[in-house]
Amino acid sequence: MSEDQPTQITNRFKDALVYATELHSGQNRKRSQVPYIAHLLGVTSLVLEDGGDEDEAIAALLHDAVEDQGGLKTLEAIRERYGEHVAMIVSACTDSFTEPKPPWRERKESYLEILRQADPSVQRVSLADKVYNAHSTLRDVQIEGQAAWSKFKQGKQGALWYYHAIIEALDSRSTSYLLTELKEIVAELEQLSE
């Protein structure tokens, strides 16, 4: 989207905000008391600040809905409410459509393959999600020290591997400032974790 043309936020976005709030009602961030909607709003803010359009902003609000709140049934509801483009972005940002989820490394490697081929809308929403998560991790490490890594099933090594793999998958494909920001946060995480 051009800087000359601001993103128009319509009633579709307002509806998606209410829908995301309802879908994730009662859900908190991993091992915290922070309502999950804070994450969704943060990711959406990053998407809009990176020049994302309304479809990308709606997808950012709903990027975890399929994985966490109903699988393919939820994806179909998103498609019906917000259209094919939003559903495509949400689907591409989903690393598991079933419960129980496949093993962590297998899910992440499959997701990386999708990301390498993804269109710019998917890349933008995915990068915003990873920047938000990496920043949250950085803040936790600054406050809690190395104990913060215990929030991750794969620990520090797994989390850092995944962030580096995202960077590698998008390094030659994305021109977004979000990729630069992710690199900087990961470098700081590594420095604090030595």
Contact of 112 with 166, CB cutoff 8 Å: yes
d(CA 190, CA 194): 6
Whether residue 67 lies in the annotated active site: yes
As given in the structure block, the two tokens for residue 3 are: 């800087």
Whether residue 64 lies in the annotated active site: no
Catalytic residue among 67, 129, 140, 181: 67
As given in the structure block, the two tokens for residue 35 are: 């309502």
Contact of 56 with 46, CB cutoff 8 Å: no
Would you please indicate which residues are annotated as catalytic (active-site) residues? Answer: 67-68
